[in-house]
Amino acid sequence: MSAADNEALLRRWIKAYNDRDTAEEEAVRTADYVAHIPGLPPFDNASWKQFIWGFSTSFPDLHLTIEDVVSEEGKVAARITFRGTQRGEFMGIPPTGKQVTFSSMETNLIVGGKVAEHWVVVDMLGLLQQLGAVPTPR
């Protein structure tokens, strides 16, 4: 796939999540998809689905915005901003009603027109600080 095709695939993936289109979100990933998040074991398709849709339960209005994209043949990287309101429990934190904004940096390996491998670094510290679970440095 070309760099433009890879970018379009990433945009399709993010749109599917924002639309809460689980079938389309899953259709973008290969059958042997693997996601890597520092500090967590690798995710396969089933555990990834549980992980990302868990965010939707905690933050039902969560919306992802692609801020920057760099693409080449076989890979696409992006900086993404997440915005939402905590309406459900998240990592043991009861609903706060707080609006949050946090970001991620990700790199995706594209194989056969689908995302085969996903490396993502999410600003969990910033998210937890906004929810009041971790003190913010003064």
Which CATH class for the 3-130 domain?
alpha beta
Residue 45's Cβ-count burial label (10 Å; 0-12, 13-18, 19+) is middle
Q: Where are the domains of the chain?
A: 3-130
pTM: 0.92
pLDDT at 1: 79
122 closest CA partner among 60, 53, 36, 50: 36
Strands 114-122 and 29-36: parallel
- Give the pLDDT confidence score for residue 73 in this predicted structure: 87
pLDDT of residue 91: 92
Q: 40 burial class (0-12, 13-18, 19+ CB within 10 angstroms)?
A: exposed
Cα dihedral 91→15→104→61 (10° resolution)? -40
Q: pLDDT digits over 46-99, tens only?
A: 999 999 998 999 999 999 999 999 999 899 999 999 999 999 999 999 999 999
